[in-house]
């Protein structure tokens, strides 16, 4: 069992949500400090000593050095505390999970957060570029259709079991299905999302209000 994890980052950050979902799925004790956005603190000298980039999340496991970059943190936790289903020990099996996790980060999370979410939620309505939003959603959904096809074969992204790859994909889907956009009909993806909503850790850390991010 881990010593107490210390986490820096506000709960409305999507990257922090991915981390917190993982921590809760693994049943690890933690103390989280709100940081970033309306809480500030990212430029404080003490925080910059933890992460010179001034970004969240940051994690410290007991007396170990602090870690930053969400993917690296997730892989660390999975390696230390995950079971064989979540993060296999056999290299090829682990690489299979990791490729989907990395794919989800690059092809889904990065194609959603700034190109879509920021344009829809964090941009004043009078300044929104409808054509740019439509194009960004279509670009995102070419990637999501790959996941949807995979999910017609297996119930989870990397196979029959819930893994780290589902953290990296799934934490984006609450906002994708919640914001006001026209979405493609991807039934396998929707069924997958509905399965994720049955997980207590997903509901606790991902399905949360993000109104304080909205720009009126």
Q: What mean pLDDT is predicted for residues 183-191?
A: 98
The beta-strand segments (E) located in 39-170 are 58-61, 67-68
Is the pLDDT at 216 greater than 90? The verdict is: no
Q: 86 lies in a domain?
A: no
Cα 206 from Cα 71, distance rounded (Å): 17
pLDDT, one tens digit per residue, over 90-139 is: 999 999 999 999 999 999 999 999 999 999 999 999 999 999 999 999 99
Band of pLDDT at residue 2, cut at 50, 70 and 90? low
CATH of the domain at 72: 3.40.30.10
Place of tokens 């299905």: 177
Q: What mean pLDDT is predicted for residues 50-76?
A: 97
What DSSP state is assigned to residue 94?
H
The mean pLDDT of the chain is 96
Sheet of 30-33: strand order equals 30-33, 5-8, 58-61, 67-68
Same domain? 75 vs 97: no
Residue that terminates a domain, selected from 62, 81, 100? 81
pTM, to two decimals: 0.95
Identify which of 69, 68, 8, 25 has the alpha carbon closest to the alpha carbon of residue 200: 25
Q: Which residues form the domain of 18?
A: 5-81
Task: Please report, for the chain, how many H helices and E strands are present, in that order.
Answer: 10, 4
Band of pLDDT at residue 1, cut at 50, 70 and 90? low
């Amino acid at each position: 069992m881990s010593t107490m994890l210390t986490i820096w980052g506000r709960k409305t950050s999507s990257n922090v949500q991915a981390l917190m979902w993982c921590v809760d799925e693994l049943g690890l004790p933690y103390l989280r400090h709100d940081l970033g956005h309306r809480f500030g603190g990212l430029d404080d000298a003490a925080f910059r000593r933890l992460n010179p980039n001034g970004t969240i999340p940051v994690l410290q496991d007991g007396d170990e050095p602090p870690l930053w970059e969400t993917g690296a943190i997730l892989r660390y936790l999975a390696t230390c505390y995950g079971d064989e289903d979540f993060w296999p020990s056999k290299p090829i099996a682990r690489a299979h999970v990791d490729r989907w996790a990395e794919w989800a980060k690059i092809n889904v999370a990065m194609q959603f957060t700034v190109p879509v979410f920021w344009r829809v939620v964090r941009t004043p309505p009078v300044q929104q570029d409808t054509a740019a939003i439509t194009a960004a959603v279509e670009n995102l959904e070419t990637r999501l259709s790959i996941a949807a096809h995979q999910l017609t074969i297996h119930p989870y992204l990397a196979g029959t079991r819930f893994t780290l790859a589902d953290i990296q994909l799934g934490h984006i889907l609450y906002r994708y299905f919640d914001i006001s956009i026209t979405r493609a009909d991807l039934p396998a993806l929707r069924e997958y999302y509905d399965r994720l909503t049955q997980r207590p850790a997903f509901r606790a850390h991902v399905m949360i209000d993000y109104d304080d991010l909205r720009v009126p």
